[in-house]
Structure 1
Amino acid sequence: MFDLSAFDLSAFDPSTLAVPIVGAPMAGGPSTPALTAAISAAGGFGILAGAYLSPDALRAEIAAVRAATDAPFGVNLFVPEELVFDAAAFDEYRARLLPLAGMFGAELPTAPAYTDDAFAAKVDVLLDERVAAVSFTFGAPAPKVYAAFADRDIATVTTVTTLDEARIAVASGSTALCAQGIEAGGHRSTFEILADDSEIGVGDLIVAVAGLGVPVIGAGGVGGVDDVRAILAAGAVAAQVGTLFLPTPEAGTRAAHRAALADPRFTATATTRAYSGRLARALVNDFVRDFTDVAPPVYPQVNTLTGPLRRAAADDPQVINLWAGTGWRGARPASAAEVVAHLNPNN
């Protein structure tokens, strides 16, 4: 058992942060223990991405964060949702991808199985490790999950995109909300895979959910300190930031992704299901243009399908997923601590 005696295990309250900046969990590579630790050590609150990690790997990454800082931090999990598998839509999409996969020598799986990403086992890890906070994306788990964390004095943050989702989260026991506006990069946290995106901006969403009796973190479109100030002015107690941390040396961002953030060839972002089957905001590249209109809403199987292609084309920014929010032009190479300081509205 890891020795927890040196760490602050009090439940996370986003309204008490020295710097009102929360580091967004960015699963699939960019999120690292070093990045999480650096954000927390700088006075913000880092959230480690637990998605796509095995329970043992998650436990090891938590230990790595604790080895780097004694500041509190959180961990994010994806809430699973299993749909009836649309085999015909999946097969049609796979066929459309085969020519591109062939160019890179990527073998695409034929019928990847549904996985819940070991959600229950990772909940057990987080209960055991007693991190300061657990955040949820893609839904609100059962009330008993929130209650189990409350019993361990672990705060819970549920990412929402609508007022209805926020009401569900608070009724289920979430102790804070992350109001994710349409401007945010990466996956949209809609509670249902098949749901249309409400496309509510972060400011309007904060105002809509601010009266539910829990602290609200605002997420989406941060390109500089003025955006942080606008989020706070709307009623949030902190701003969650992801894209601006992508170029930091602590992040595990691919080189092609880092370069694309500063590449003038990329002029816009858009939401797409092309990479994972779930809506996510990315820089518009050839893959987004070619496959957004034909990708089926099948998650996580589409994510598994495109994985080999994305790995084989890791150096090609026209193929890989370039997750980015609308404030991506503010991303600059700098340390995570420098980014936190630059975004500090109290400076």
Structure 2
Amino acid sequence: MSSALTDLFPHPIVQAPMAGGVSVPQLAAAVSEAGGLGFLAAGYKTADGMYQEIKQLRGLTGRPFGVNLFMPQPEYPGASTGSTGAANAAPTSAAVDVYAHQLAGEAAWYETELGDPDSGRDDGYDAKLAVLLDNPVPVVSFHFGVPKPEVLESLRRAGTFTLVTVTAPDEALAVQQAGADAVIVQGVEAGGHQGTHRDNPETDRSGIGLLALIAQVRETVSLPMVAAGGIMRGSQIAAVLAAGAAAAQLGTAFLATQESGANALHKQALTNPLFVRTELTRAFSGRPARGLVNRFMREHGPYAPAAYPEVHHLTSPLRKKAAASGDAQGMALWAGQGHRMARDLPAGQLVEVLAAELDAAATALSAAPEGGAVG
């Protein structure tokens, strides 16, 4: 790993930034205080909301931490243009209109209105960047695309280490060419949204497994890699380090912790026998995301269009009402493939347990005879 990042945290353990209220300052602080790298998720927040969370986190820890940004999404093809030739807000596609009609029954059931699908596509990106340049943080990561080279250079001049999520070797190459400091290599096992740079419905279920992806990216670029996807134990961290990663990013493992801001129903569902598997779905947001299979996913997943963030805005009131009414069958229960291994622990203690498991696995590997197997 680049020494610039190595020096930031003692353990090669990164807490994934989970948007939607999960990655709260208390969680990030606990992870950083324990020697990992805690992360705030700026996605779906205003620039001021992000700034206030950064201030709160700085009041809880003096250790390094990161902030994650969602990249602005491109307009729909054929977006209307004004007299100046500039693209106006993309019109709601016919596919989103059809999906809204299908969700009318959900709105009636939860006694709420559907959200406005045209509520914005850039997630306040420019305003958040301005905050992070005026008030630099140690690490910034990006999801859903590659920032412009000048953005990465501005952050570097501010003293910020930059990472970009990739799900394929060609995406990693684009990140290296843009000038980021490292890549987050996200395998298809990961919970939540896949950080694909080009959303293509034809490749929804053709993602690459984490270990295979690490090997492919390692042969494509020279950037340090942070591995993400289904990691729940220290032995798995040892495996990705042995494969060439410099650190491991864990999301679902920290979602279950006591400091996590996840809804109690979401935490319980991770190990509830009622939820036996995960799938990638567009049902809740219009972008491929891995979650526990529930009623909403089964009924609407096959029909959800490739329209992010329109579908996210559309279903937001439904998801909030389902959570408020205690109905896990209508919630977006994001989770990685290792969800059943979740542990209900304080976040700091989880970092310590993972570090001990990692040390034990590394010792076992070093003690194994050359060419032999570890029992």
Which range, TM-score by smaller chain?
Answer: over 0.9
CA displacement, residues 187-216 of structure 1 (integer Å, 9 cap, x when unaligned): 000002235244111111111112422210
CA distance in 2, matches of 1:326, 1:230: 16
Residue among 334, 337, 341 paired with 2:348? 337
CA distance in 2, matches of 1:297, 1:110: 16
The equivalences for 1:33-72 within 5 A come to: 33-72=25-64
CA contact (8 A) 1:15 1:215 kept: no
Alpha carbons of structure 1 residues 333 and 111: separation in structure 2 relative to 1, 3 Å: closer
Q: Which residue of 2 aligns with 1:204?
A: 212
Deviation at 1:223, TM superposition (A): 2.2
CA distance in 1, matches of 2:116, 2:63: 44
CA contact (8 A) 1:248 1:334 kept: yes
Residue among 215, 220, 223 paired with 2:232? 223
Which residue type is aligned with residue 347 of structure 2? Answer: A
The equivalences for 1:27-38 within 5 A come to: 27-38=19-30
CA displacement, residues 34-75 of structure 1 (integer Å, 9 cap, x when unaligned): 111111111010111011111111111001111000000010
Consecutive unaligned residues in structure 2, runs of 5 or more: 77-90, 361-375
Q: Which residue of 2 aligns with 1:271?
A: 280
CA distance in 2, matches of 1:338, 1:178: 24
Residue among 14, 17, 20 paired with 2:12? 20
Q: Which residue of 1 aligns with 2:268?
A: 259
CA distance in 1, matches of 2:293, 2:337: 11
SS, match of residue 303 in structure 1: helix
Taking only the aligned residue pairs, the percentage that are identical comes to: 44
CA displacement, residues 55-113 of structure 1 (integer Å, 9 cap, x when unaligned): 11111100111100000001000011123155211111011111122111111135533
Deviation at 1:17, TM superposition (A): 3.3
Which residue type is aligned with residue 298 of structure 1? Answer: A
CA contact (8 A) 1:15 1:238 kept: no
Q: Which residue of 2 aligns with 1:242?
A: 251
Moved segments of 4+, more than 3 Å: 14-17
Alpha carbons of structure 1 residues 18 and 316: separation in structure 2 relative to 1, 3 Å: same
Alpha carbons of structure 1 residues 123 and 111: separation in structure 2 relative to 1, 3 Å: closer
CA distance in 1, matches of 2:121, 2:34: 36
CA contact (8 A) 1:81 1:192 kept: no
Q: Which residue of 2 aligns with 1:109?
A: 115
Q: Is 1:87 paired with 2:93? A: yes
Q: Which residue of 2 aligns with 1:74?
A: 66
CA distance in 2, matches of 1:258, 1:40: 22
Q: Is 1:120 paired with 2:131? A: no
CA distance in 2, matches of 1:214, 1:16: 17
CA distance in 2, matches of 1:68, 1:109: 35
The CA RMSD over aligned residues, in Å, is: 1.6
CA displacement, residues 299-330 of structure 1 (integer Å, 9 cap, x when unaligned): 11110000000011102111100000011111
Alpha carbons of structure 1 residues 98 and 14: separation in structure 2 relative to 1, 3 Å: farther
CA distance in 2, matches of 1:12, 1:255: 37
Choose 81-90 or 294-303, whichever is displaced more. 81-90
SS, match of residue 217 in structure 1: strand
Residue among 153, 166, 179 paired with 1:173? 179
Consecutive unaligned residues in structure 1, runs of 5 or more: 1-10
Scaled by the length of structure 2, the TM-score of the pair is 0.87
Q: Which residue of 2 aligns with 1:5?
A: none
Alpha carbons of structure 1 residues 105 and 177: separation in structure 2 relative to 1, 3 Å: same
CA distance in 2, matches of 1:15, 1:318: 43
Q: Which residue of 1 aligns with 2:338?
A: 327
SS, match of residue 350 in structure 2: helix
Which residue type is aligned with residue 262 of structure 1? Answer: T
Q: Which structure has the larger Rg? A: 2
